[in-house]
Amino acid sequence: MEKSPNIPQKMPYVMELEAGTYYWCSCGKSAKQPFCDGSHKGSEFVPTKTTLEEAKKVAFCGCKHTNGEPFCDGSHAKL
């Protein structure tokens, strides 16, 4: 059976972040999008760990269908 994540939004979450480690939600069920809140527990989904070495602007995937986890690759345009 192929896993299919929820789609919280069909556009990226663009934000300025400080250096640090972040966990991107891959299941689409987190109430703290685009970050993991543990809602995936009991499923086959796991969050994607991302470490930023310096503060920067990022675009996290909002549709959960990117091929470049955790960042947006434009896949939302095909949904």
* 66 neighbors 72 (Cβ within 8 angstroms): yes
Residue 21, CA atoms < 13 Å, CB-side half-sphere: 3
Question: Looking at residue 10, what is its pLDDT?
Answer: 97
Phi, psi of 24 (to 5 degrees): -80, 130
pLDDT at residue number 1: 42
pLDDT given for residue 23 in this prediction? 98
Q: How far is CA 69 from CA 46, 66, 79, in A?
A: 12, 6, 17
Q: What is the mean pLDDT of each run of 10 residues along the chain (79 residues)?
A: 85 98 98 98 96 98 97 96
What does the pLDDT read at residue 21? 98
Return the pLDDT at 3. 83
